[in-house]
A = this chain, B = another copy of it.
Amino acid sequence: MDLQYALELVGTIVFAISGVLAVREREHDMFGAGFTGFITAIGGGTLRDILLDSYPLVWIGDVKFLYAILVGILAAFIFPNFLSRLRKTFFLFDTLGIAFFTVLGVEKALHLGVRPEIAAIMGMFSAVMGGVIRDTLTNEIPILFRKEIYASACLSGAIFYLVLNYFEVPRDINLLVSVALIIAIRLIAMRFKLSLPRLD
């Protein structure tokens, strides 16, 4: 429980850092960059909770998430070069982050009583919609439509979790296995430059 909470805060910091660094090459001032970090960190969970009518929103009910975001933004301000050089490390962290938030999003949705089909979508939303909102605000083509295997890895992991959950696999094992599956799909897709077919 405590470990999970700590991981959520760390994941929030990572999302905020990646949001700030995503606009680094662009003409944003520091305020705009910080705002981008904020939106990236809260966007997915906020959308999920609004869709599910789950209030208060996580970052509004628990101010520690706001401070986690501030830590991430400040870190990106103070050590931008250092953190950018960590790109590979960061890719791993980001992958860990979306994997973890996907499964937590699925669990939260199930807990709120929705059907598994909806829970799968909510899990994916939790993980990727922060980045989508960020990209939309900054006039980029959202990552969802660019990256080879990104949201689809999350959706696969979410469905996998729901299947294991249906067969009553213990929660801790299921969490671990599903997170690992998302990470594996994304890393393998990246390594071998796999992508989904285009529509034509």
Residues of A near any B CB (own CB < 8 A): 20, 23-24, 27-33, 35-36, 46, 50-53, 55-57, 59-60, 63, 66, 76-77, 80, 114-115, 117-118, 121, 132, 136-142, 144-146, 148, 151-152, 155, 195-200
Contact = CB atoms under 8 A, between A and B. Distances in A.
A35 B175 CA distance: 25
A198 B30 contact: yes
A5 B145 CA distance: 32
* Copies of this chain, count: 3
Nearest to A29: B196
B24 A199 contact: yes
A118 B27 contact: no
A32 B145 contact: yes
A199 B152 CA distance: 32
A199 B29 CA distance: 6
Contacts of A195: 29
Nearest to A143: B32
A118 B63 CA distance: 8
A109 to B, nearest CB: 9
Contacts of A27: 145-146, 198
Contacts of A46: 51
A142 B27 CA distance: 12
Given A24-B199, A137-B145, A138-B141, 10 more contacts: A27-B145, A28-B145, A28-B199, A29-B145, A33-B199, A50-B50, A53-B55, A63-B117, A80-B200, A138-B142
